Amino acid sequence: MKMKLLLLCTLVFFFLTGTPPSSYAATISDMKGQIGVQITVYNNNLGLIKDTRKVFLPLGQGELRFMDVASHIMPVTVHAKSLNYAEAFTILEQNYEYDLMNADKLLDKYVGKKIKLLDFNKIQDRKEVVEAILLSNNKGQIYKIHDEIYLGHPGYKVLPKIPENLIAKPTLTWLFQNNSKEAHQLEVSYLTNNISWRADYVLLLNQDDTSSDLTGWVTLDNKSGATYKDARLKLVAGEVHRVEERFDQKVYAMKEMARAKAPQFKEKAFFEYHIYDLQRKTTIKNKQTKQVSLLEADQVKVQKELLVYGITSYFTRKYQEKMLRQPVNVYIKFINAKENNLGMPLPAGIIRLYKEDDEESLQFIGEDKIEHTPKDEEITLKIGEAFDVVAERTQTDYQRISTRLYESEWEIILKNHKEKQVKVGVVEPLFGNWKIVSNSHPYKKIDAFTIRFDVTIPRDGDQKIRYRVRVGL
């Protein structure tokens, strides 16, 4: 009768609290039982982990501690299932244990309990052990030793054991129901923060700036708090929307890196994004930056442009003096097409440009960021400002015809101090109802409010562009 009453009380306690009886010995699952792991990394500091392990579980209800998960796991995203005996495995309750042990937390658990203090007596060359009751661990320790109160005490603090409710690493804990005598292949998937990737590119220009070699690298940064050994790696490029609740920038000299003989990533469209699937396994350590070759393209045709940009405020103001010198911006552009030895959707990243000098030494000449670029689209990179090409702008006439109508005349002097001729584009953004009254050089209308002059400047020479424009608000 007493045994039946005890069993009944135990069952009532379990159903009211959701806690398994203390007689359940916890089953531990760690990296030793792992049979496979797959990681999908997104651009926005997010990773999807699929961790598959072989786990032997006792029949009936029990507790499973799934260890070695990412410390930045999002617990609400966890999903677990048995791949081989799905109907025999059910999770009744899940807990995420993140109260990780440290010295203060260990001592907090022993407040009011007896511990040992171990000190070395250097004079007598022996160890001295003192038993003490820890009264407080708040901003220092207070001990009771032989009916006396000690505010601190020398020596090492020795604890008899680690409390059961403290763990050494982040752990998922489940209360499960198991009806299989065989081992489960348990797949646990979850999202984690603090893992991300970006694309880094290196473009090597030839001597006349008409062709280049382009290499791309995936830079993966793992600060999720877990190591993924022999993982299948997938990268998703695209803007995945998340409900609101990067990495250190490093420049790598790619020329010295060994090039991959064949593409390591297989690219394919997925939903409205693109997936890059690494065709081999790789180990991604915690707090590690890893680079994997993404692409290699030789003889990519490029075009260099020198451009000067105006601003719309020029045309409604009167300038008393000669304006300051304007920058002559340097751009490199190319088409991401199969005919240009490319044609692969390029994920967003930074393209760094290099060129050999007269001594065949590779020099860094600039960088720019690109967005996700589909095939057959043009890529334009701003890499700096020209040193030997100068642009100066002067307002030679100004008239305010009415409160809403202005007319002005401009002279743009372009000077070339190079040993060869150069071509410069002058881009003028207009507004309102505009009309070119007169012009010294032909122009091209780019869109409804933009015109462009293209002029060739001889070596050590100059060109003067003059035009008169009327704008109405």
Q: Indicate whether 330 and 410 sit together in one domain.
A: yes
Whole-number Å distance between alpha carbons of 295 and 262: 8
What is the Cβ-side half-sphere exposure of residue 369, based on CA atoms within 13 angstroms?
5
The three-state (H, E, C) secondary structure of 55-102, written as one string: ECCCCEEEEEEEECCCCCECHHHCEEEECCCHHHEEEEEEEEECCECC
Dig out the tokens for 282 from the structure: 């790789």
Contact 134, 115 (CB under 8 A): yes
Residue 5 in domain: no
Q: Indicate whether 148 and 181 sit together in one domain.
A: no
CA proximity to 465, closest of 408, 393, 387: 393
| Residue 175 belongs to domain spanning | 20-33+52-99+167-187
Whole-number Å distance between alpha carbons of 328 and 422: 12
Dig out the tokens for 468 from the structure: 């008169």
CA proximity to 82, closest of 14, 192, 191, 174: 174
Residue 409 is predicted with a pLDDT of 92
Residue 12 in domain: no
Residue 413 in domain: yes
Contact 395, 323 (CB under 8 A): yes
Helix (H/G/I), strand (E/B), else coil: 194: coil
Q: Indicate whether 67 and 124 sit together in one domain.
A: no
Residue 232 in domain: no
Residue 309 is predicted with a pLDDT of 93
Count of structural domains, the chain: 3
Residue 12 is predicted with a pLDDT of 42
Residue with tokens 């260890």: 67
CATH number at residue 326: 2.60.40
Name the residue type at position 412. Answer: I
Q: Indicate whether 152 and 59 sit together in one domain.
A: no
Dig out the tokens for 179 from the structure: 């009806």
From first to last of its 473 residues, what are the pLDDT tens digits of the chain? 444 444 444 444 444 444 444 445 789 998 899 999 999 998 888 999 999 999 999 999 999 989 889 988 888 899 999 999 999 999 998 887 665 566 777 788 888 899 888 888 767 677 888 899 999 988 889 889 988 898 888 888 888 887 766 666 778 889 999 999 999 999 999 999 999 999 999 999 999 999 999 999 998 999 998 999 999 999 988 767 766 554 343 433 333 344 444 567 777 777 777 888 888 899 999 999 988 888 899 999 999 999 999 887 777 778 766 677 889 999 999 999 999 999 988 998 999 999 998 888 899 999 999 999 999 999 999 999 999 999 999 999 999 999 889 999 999 999 999 999 999 999 999 988 999 999 999 999 999 999 999 999 999 999 999 999 999 88
CB atoms within 10 A of CB 12: 10
Dig out the tokens for 172 from the structure: 């998922």
CB atoms within 10 A of CB 456: 12
Q: Indicate whether 28 and 148 sit together in one domain.
A: no
Dig out the tokens for 91 from the structure: 């999770």
CB atoms within 10 A of CB 359: 6
Residue 3 is predicted with a pLDDT of 44
Q: Indicate whether 399 and 465 sit together in one domain.
A: yes
Residue 92 in domain: yes
Q: Indicate whether 70 and 153 sit together in one domain.
A: no
